[in-house]
Amino acid sequence: MIRWIRQQLGFDPPHQSDTRTVYIANKFPQHGHYIPQRFADNRIISSKYTIWNFIPKNLFEQFRRIANFYFLIIFLVQLMIDTPTSPITSGLPLFFVITVTAIKQGYEDWLRHKADNEVNGAPVFVVRSGSLVQTRSKNIRVGDIVRVAKDETFPADLVLLSSDRAEGTCHITTASLDGETNLKTHYAVPETAVSQSVSRLESLQAVVECQQLFIFYLFVCLFIFLVIPFRPLGSENLLLRGARLKNTKEIFGVAVYTGMESKMALNYKCKSQKRSAVEKSMNTFLIIYLGILLFEAILSTILKYAWQAENKWDEPFYNQKTDQERNSSQILKFISDFLAFLVLYNFIIPISLYVTVELQKFLGSFFIGWDLDLYHEESDQKAQVNTSDLNEELGQVEYVFTDKTGTLTENEMQFRECSINGIKYQEINGKLVPEGMTEDSPDGSVPCLNGEEELFLKAVSLCHTVQISYDQTDGPGDPFSHANGFSPQMEYYASSPDEKALVEATKSPQALRERYLMTFCLSLGEKVLFTKGAESAVLPYTTSGEIDKTRVHVDEFALKGLRTLVVACRHFSADEYQEVDRRLHEARTALQQREERLVEVFNFIEKDLELLGATGVEDKLQDKVQETIESLRLAGIKVWVLTGDKHETAVSVSLSCGHFHRTMNILELVQQKSDRECAEQLHRCDVCLCLCRIKEDHVIQHGLVVDGASLSLALREHEKLFMEVCKNCSAVLCCRMAPLQKAKVVRLLKTSPEKPITLAIGDGANDVSMIQEAHVGIMGKEGRQAVRNSDYAIARFKFLAKLLLVHGHFYYIRIATLVQYFFYKNVCFITPQFLYQFFCLFSQQTLYDSVYLTLYNICFTSLPILVYSLFEQLVHPHVLQSKPALYRDISKNSLLSFKTFLYWTFLGFCHAFVFFFGSYILMGEDTTLMGNGQVSVSPASLPSSLLFSYSRSCVSVAGLLLC
């Protein structure tokens, strides 16, 4: 406990070197003066507060708000000087607001504590003292050997020591980390792969030497044995915390990173606080009203002294000053009077505005989850709100950035065509048929494969990461011993849906058996390298094969909207293979610059390739994608598609989903090689757009296609021109985009001079940076990492239309009305107080009762507008969906513009004058005030000593009207 306290205070840092030395099973050297390194425990802490720091930390955060800090100052002033109102009038509303907010934030943090306790208290098994003991996850120490069973999550970052598989491998899923549901294969340390018993693991004499913190994707590690040479390890040997063990009975691993030093905890990206346009407007309005408050206080103070400067205004006997007061400093008196007027008028600032807005957003967010139109029955997923602070931003979106695969499409691939040695084949009823032929050969037999075709099929069968999962088979045995060669529980997992589609296309029992035999034959015969990838990554390194014909076929596949992969190979002689093996071993065992050395070796290997062919896989569009994009366009929202697919495939999908129209003039900025070429092409695009504007041709719309390489050149020196071209286009398609480029495009547009509101929607880990960068982020089909980093989550792209056009419309109108009404009602409330000072000789007398001052903001006028802002529907939802153009009426923050704000403020002042002087005139001469027949006298005949009571009675009518 003392050590932990010292670490928390910073006096005892957990580690002090650049590398960490982990002793297996914590068997430290027994000789010398060895001091073991200190590491963090295995507790995960996502909570914000503790019992000890909740009150001071929460108060500090709340008083960072301008309104709360302002009322705190007013409350302190009321305590220090003699003010016309009681400190309760400011203190009680402030206490109410602070308490409600603290309860809300405390409850949310309690939920985080609860989730942390479930994770930290989860039961785990570790090897200690020669036996397998059960403990809690938080008790795992660096160096402990941990046992993980099938379908369990890894409690820490582990180096895989052994598994129940003979080859020492295991399969994991990282869906909770990056949204990918495919199986990934990891490998045990070869020297320990056979150590599957607790006794053998306990007897290990070894040390793991690795980097101190695993922040990046590269894991550099050495497994050092005390009796044999060291073994280099990489990311394929590391099991990350949060991943789940699949298709493997059990594994043993040594903990190298624990708790807040695990990869999952270190890579928690702290999302920047997104502030809505409404919140920014609120802060601006508060500053303006603060200026009005200071003006009224200063003016009243000056008029008081100007009024009292005339001798005819003798002080009444009950308000005469003492000698000490007469002889006190005039400056101090002026400051005291100014502060008194400041307290008197301070209710022009709506103290309950923030808490009412927070309640409205919090309660209003439930309507999204309750909407059955946003519920996807097939996946049993409803819409999810992660950030209620941005509800109103859904009604202000001007640009939508969307991923293609899995967002616009189903991300469920089906093999359709391929090209082998320059000959195109099609898939017909499960058979591969050359183009121009039917599925049945003349003699009813399947033609024999030539060498090129056989090598292509070998590459497709071997060069992938597909794994087969069985529900019943846990022990050793032939996986194809089931009836007819198949198990009905067989499932395929792959690192990409393309690979899964290719393997499923050849999933006959014979093909799967042959796959294992071919692997065996290749390992005994010649050495062949198989590779596949995008044509831009593979074709430049090919030197033989039907390159031109295959390139034409790839373009044809892409024009049909198919996803393409190019397949190639390279044959190694015995000497070449030995040279490659030597270089790889040297690069993998390097502790310094390992990644750079590996890249250099891979570049040496992946050259002089022989082109085998290409594949075409279809990814179907989701339901109602075209109708949704058209509705967004009619609503004035521009849609940009950001995808990693090649140019032709992306354009074909854009045309099929309605993002591009057939009549649209498509401008291209692709395959630019230099800054000069890029600049010339941008100028040509700009000239084309300018000519259309000069001719006033509003019929022809323009679309822009840009690839990742050209985008990098355009943003290097021609950013302004590029953005000008983009903004003048109706639709923009960015292809061959890296994840960071997606985020850069979003950031570039949202920081432009117009400051448009942006929305990004994606479904995978590669879309997280784009989602976080936009003003509003939405998760599409899948991906838990994307869910955590998104503000809203919907199951299908088609739900985006109602989310924006209906919910966004309602949220914005409701919150805008709430904010404007708060400022309006406070002007109506406090202006009579200011006008009353002219009738009481600026004696700082209050017009309202203290209870009325206290409850006006937090009760009388907050609850009605809160109910209104939750249920009001000015237009029926069906009308908003059928007429998307209504979305344009609230764009550009129109209901909270400065002009609208001045209108509400002017209206408040007008109504305040009507309330005050209307009541004054209504209660004029010869007006019966009492039920017993007593008649009030004219205000002009009232002495100043009685005018106060009279005016309070008059303006009470105004207060009742406001309620």
Which residues are the active-site residues?
Answer: 403
Whether residue 429 is annotated as binding a ligand: the answer is no
Residue 310 among known ligand-binding residues: no
Annotated binding residue 191 = no
* φ, ψ dihedrals at 621, nearest 5°: -75, 150
Which amino acid type is present at position 665? Answer: N
- DSSP result, 459-474: HHHHSS--EEE-SS--
- Taking the C-alpha atoms of residue 192 and residue 127, their distance in angstroms, rounded to an integer, is 15
Q: Is 644 annotated to bind ligand?
A: yes
CA distance 468 to 341: 79
Q: Is 624 exposed, middle or buried (0-12, 13-18, 19+ CB in 10 A)?
A: middle
Known binder of ligand: residue 563? yes
892 is in an annotated binding site: no
The answer to whether the annotation marks 736 as part of a ligand binding site is yes
Q: Measure Cα distances from 55 to 48, 106, 284, 352 in Å.
A: 12, 10, 29, 20
781 is in an annotated binding site: no
What is the rounded CA–CA span in Å between residue 463 and residue 465?
Answer: 7
Helix, strand or coil, per DSSP, at residue 943: coil
Bridge partners of residue 211, in order along the sequence: 19
The answer to whether 321 is annotated as binding is: no
Task: Estimate to the nearest angstrom the gap between the alpha carbon of 386 and the chain centroid.
Answer: 9
3 annotated to a ligand binding site: no
Instruction: Indicate the burial class of 270 (C-beta count within 10 angstroms; 0-12, 13-18, 19 or more).
Output: exposed
Q: Are 789 and 615 in contact (CB under 8 A)?
A: no
Inter-residue contact 208 to 224 (CB < 8 Å): yes
The response to whether 763 counts as a known ligand-binding position is yes
What element of type H or E holds 947? Answer: helix 944-962
Are residues 713 and 687 in contact, defined by beta-carbon separation less than 8 angstroms? no
Q: How far apart are CA 861 and CA 710, in angstroms?
A: 57
- Asked if 248 and 170 count as a contact pair (C-beta separation under 8 A), the reply is yes
CA distances in angstroms from 152 to 34, 172, 287, 833, listed in the order given: 36, 10, 54, 67
Provide the sign of the torsion angle of the four alpha carbons 770, 771, 773, 777, taken in this order.
positive
Of 217, 320, 90, 232, the residue nearest 588 (C-alpha): 232
CA atoms of 667 and 660, how far apart (whole Å): 11
Q: Are 703 and 688 in contact (CB under 8 A)?
A: no
Half-sphere exposure (Cβ direction) of 901: Cα atoms closer than 13 Å:
16
Cα-trace Rg, the chain: 36
For 207-237, give one letter per residue: b (16+ CB within 10 A) or e.
Answer: bbbbbbebeeeebbbebebeeeeebbbeeeb
Give yes or no for a contact between 706 and 671, defined as CB atoms under 8 angstroms apart.
no
274 is in an annotated binding site: no
Report yes or no: 639 and 632 within 8 Å, Cβ to Cβ.
Answer: yes
766 is in an annotated binding site: yes
Annotated binding site: 403-405, 499, 520, 532, 563, 643-645, 736, 742, 763, 766-767
Annotated binding site for Mg(2+): 403, 405, 763, 767
